Amino acid sequence: MFPWFAFLLVGMWLGRQPLAEPRVRRLLFAAGAAVTVIAESLGLLAVHAPEVVDTLHVDASYWLHTSPRPPTPNFVLAGASTGNINRSPMAAALADVVAMQHAVDVEIRSAGTLGLVDRPCPRQLVAVAREAGLDLSRHRSQGVSDELVAWADYILVMETAHAVHLAETYPDHGTEVVQLGLLIGDSEIADPHGSWFKAPYRRMRDDVRRALERFFGSLASG
């Protein structure tokens, strides 16, 4: 809280200065450089000479103390589907919205176990996504990779076969795998691929949204 309030006060003060004058700009540059040197020096002192920090007054120790920050945001591969052209891009797009509604800080990607590359979503999916205010017209598929699995904190899968594929292909990944279908009482999120009609895509979209509501609700509640 304190740093952000300080930024606000400094910004208000700067807004009242005659910044068009070269003398003022030079003074501000010199002050900024001095503050940077002091801050970096104190940071190096705290890291490389903690015994010096320990001898400081308690208030100074508090300001110089460093400690690990909790991991944020959550990195979610939402989700791993077969081709990464239907269910997983829809899940990724919806996850952005649902996570924001639950105030969960998250970074989201999607991929497919089949390894398809640079394939677009079918027009039916693009249409039903647009009904929900989502744009999947520029989505292009990618396959699940070692890098994505290592990056993710959670991998949301659409069916048991995807969980099995991850366990067999990346046996040491250690990332939590969540089957979205189980969150809404189904064994899987049905794949509408191949249907000429929009209704199966709408059902899939709505099922994915319900599952994501429960997933991000659980994250938000701790």
The CATH number of the domain holding residue 106 is 3.40.50.2300
pLDDT digits (tens, 9 = 90+) for 136-185: 999 999 999 999 999 999 999 999 999 999 999 999 888 899 999 999 99
Q: Are residues 34 and 118 in the same domain?
A: no
Domain count of the fold of the chain? 2
Q: Are residues 92 and 57 in the same domain?
A: no
Q: Would 43 be classed as within a structural domain? A: yes
What is the rounded distance in angstroms from the CA atom of residue 38 to the CA atom of residue 200?
62
| Mode of pairing for the β-strands spanning 176-179 and 154-157 | parallel
Cβ atoms of 176 and 156 closer than 8 Å: no
Q: Are residues 89 and 47 in the same domain?
A: no
Residue 1 has pLDDT above 60, yes or no: no
> DSSP states of 95-124 as a string?
HHHHHHHTT--EEEEEEETT---SPPPPHH
Q: Are residues 47 and 81 in the same domain?
A: no
Domain limits at 163?
Answer: 74-220
pLDDT digits (tens, 9 = 90+) for 47-99: 566 555 556 554 554 444 555 444 445 677 766 788 999 999 999 999 999 99
DSSP tally for the chain: helices H, then strands E = 10, 4
Q: Are residues 209 and 111 in the same domain?
A: yes
Residue that terminates a domain, selected from 20, 41, 64: 64
pLDDT digits (tens, 9 = 90+) for 114-125: 999 999 999 999
Count other Cβ atoms within 10 Å, centred on residue 7: 10
Q: Are residues 188 and 118 in the same domain?
A: yes
pTM: predicted TM-score of the whole model, two decimal places: 0.67
Q: Are residues 154 and 92 in the same domain?
A: yes
pLDDT at 125: 97
pLDDT at 155: 95
pLDDT digits (tens, 9 = 90+) for 35-56: 888 878 776 765 566 555 556 5
Q: Would 69 be classed as within a structural domain? A: no
